Amino acid sequence: MALAVEQFATSLSLGVLAKATLLKKRVRFTLNALIVYRFDTYLPVPVWTPR
């Protein structure tokens, strides 16, 4: 089993990950969405109460 893991590790290069532009876009979008969500949790929302 270690042999298969070693082969996978040697075949994986950072150059391949650098070319994954779609993956980068998706990761950036997800991180930005999380940042906006966390920021919005601190904003007070006015509460409407019926009279």
Residue range 1-51, pLDDT digits in tens: 567 777 776 766 666 666 778 888 999 999 999 999 999 888 888 888 887
- Residue 33 is predicted with a pLDDT of 97
Rounded CA gap, 28 and 32, in Å? Answer: 6
Q: Is the dihedral of CA 14, 16, 19, 23 positive or negative?
A: negative
- Residue 15 is predicted with a pLDDT of 67
- Residue 17 CB contacts under 8 Å (≥ 6 apart), including other chains: 23
Rounded CA gap, 9 and 39, in Å? Answer: 38
Q: Two tokens at 7?
A: 């082969």
